[in-house]
Structure 1
Amino acid sequence: MSHNLPEIVLPQNQWITLPNKHFSFATNGKEASQNTIVKLKADDEYLEVEFECQQNPYWKQNTYQQHNTEMWNQEVFEVFIAEGSETPVRYLELEINPNNALFVGWIDNPTKEAPQNLTFVPYEKAGIKHEVKASGETWTGKMLIPWALIGGKKEVYRLNFFRIVSLQSQADPDWKCTPSNCDFTCWSATMSGATPRFHRPDAFGVLRLK
């Protein structure tokens, strides 16, 4: 990647708020207008992620209610994470939407450009504690991600955070996000060019546990 990777140092049992409150567009790295607040905490059992998605007036039009469905077609908050400091070719993808539906799957991406395989983790086996609240134009949520789900607690991880934001009202309940009706934003921009893409693990930032 042509830009420096962001790094998080996370002391045990302490909350850290990511300093950049605006994610960047996946395509070109320019700062998005919406506020996206992310907080992290780690203990011996969980990585806890809390987020706040602001300037999101159409969140009620999200129609995905079931876990492990094609939730990326509408508004979501996402976490991609893998253990180790190297660019991963296999990583865990987590998605949560305004209806508190959860997506958990392992992604195989040997080219580091496009997923080749998705293996769902059954909801009951994932062990993720999660909740969502929404009011006005803001929806917030949290996920407690067991370290055991990622292979046990380690010192270093590669990760990224993503948000899809609907920009217009949708009449069709089966609507799908496109670059013309949604913003595709990243904590660490994937710099994917004309088409927004999240699955570019070279762009994942670094998480170090203390």
Structure 2
Amino acid sequence: MANPLHLPSLQLPHAPASLAAGPGNADWPAIPVLPPLLLADGSQPAGQQTSVRACADARALYVRFDCDDRDIWATYTRRDQPIYDEEVVELFIAPGIATPTSYYEIEVSPDGVLFDARIENPTGLRADITVDTSWDCPGIVWQAGRDDQAGRWWAVLVLPWQSIAGSEAPPREWRANFYRIERPRDGQPEYSCWSPTMTEPADFHKPAYFGLLERPVGER
């Protein structure tokens, strides 16, 4: 695939078999960490950093976020509440290598509240976006935990490939982005990305900037 925007790409490593037994498994440190997340405008790394790890097997995509956070907070308690107005980690993902006009938005708060929705974005303009929160990702598993004293929280997502592939067989290649929204109560918010969307103010709904994921070789 031509890559004129120099998008980041990731050949997903094979998931340790132990992760299938439980996403909070201690084998996560064996998975390489992605480069530091950058601010949405691409100007510099985020001040409150996030370590993102991702791996896969034939059944699912596994993602872990570890977040530095001097001021952890969350108030929402129910699935699909607007947790993106507080502090969250996010995964946007779509099958195939073309710039997607439809994709999935998955978020987790520090208290383990999930937001999952199907997005229609035909033009790449926020005014034209449709968000379907009636969609619940089949078979998704998620966990989160926080340590306020240490100033850290984490979240894990397990997404079955078939649940986000639509009616087709899961392809080898995907478009995706990993995000974090950090809102310190004593400072300015930070919007950080694996693949910066080159926007100010920050806008994560720029699918042309989604990075490239490739499932592990040998997985079907």
User: Which TM bucket (shorter chain)?
Assistant: 0.7 to 0.9
Shift of 1:3: 4.1
Q: Which residue of 2 aligns with 1:139?
A: 153
Whether 1:195 and 2:209 are equivalent positions in the alignment is: no
8 Å contact 2:15–2:62 — kept in the other structure?
no
Whether 1:47 and 2:61 are equivalent positions in the alignment is: yes
Whether 1:33 and 2:35 are equivalent positions in the alignment is: no
8 Å contact 1:17–1:37 — kept in the other structure?
no
Shift of 1:13: 3.1
CA distance in structure 2 between the partners assigned to 1:2 and 1:73 by the alignment: 32
1:17 is paired with a residue whose SS is coil
> Which letter maps to 1:203?
Y
Using a 3 Å threshold, how does the CA distance of structure 1 residues 144 and 157 change in structure 2: closer, same or farther?
same
**Map of 1:31-110 to 2, 5 A cutoff?**
31-54=45-68, 56-59=69-72, 61-110=73-122
> Which letter maps to 2:124?
K
8 Å contact 2:173–2:214 — kept in the other structure?
yes
Q: Which residue of 2 aligns with 1:150?
A: 164
Give 1 or 2: higher strand fraction. 1
| Structure 2 runs not aligned, ≥5 long | 17-29
CA distance in structure 1 between the partners assigned to 2:83 and 2:139 by the alignment: 19
1:19 is paired with a residue whose SS is coil
Shift of 1:2: 7.1
Whether 1:19 and 2:47 are equivalent positions in the alignment is: no
Whether 1:118 and 2:131 are equivalent positions in the alignment is: yes
CA distance in structure 1 between the partners assigned to 2:14 and 2:71 by the alignment: 37
RMSD: 1.9
Whether 1:165 and 2:178 are equivalent positions in the alignment is: no
8 Å contact 2:12–2:56 — kept in the other structure?
yes
8 Å contact 2:118–2:135 — kept in the other structure?
no
TM-score normalised by length of structure 1 = 0.86
CA distance in structure 1 between the partners assigned to 2:202 and 2:4 by the alignment: 17
User: Percent of aligned pairs with the same residue?
Assistant: 30
TM-score normalised by length of structure 2 = 0.82
1:94-124: CA deviations, max 9, x gaps? Answer: 000011010110111111132520112454x
CA distance in structure 2 between the partners assigned to 1:19 and 1:122 by the alignment: 29
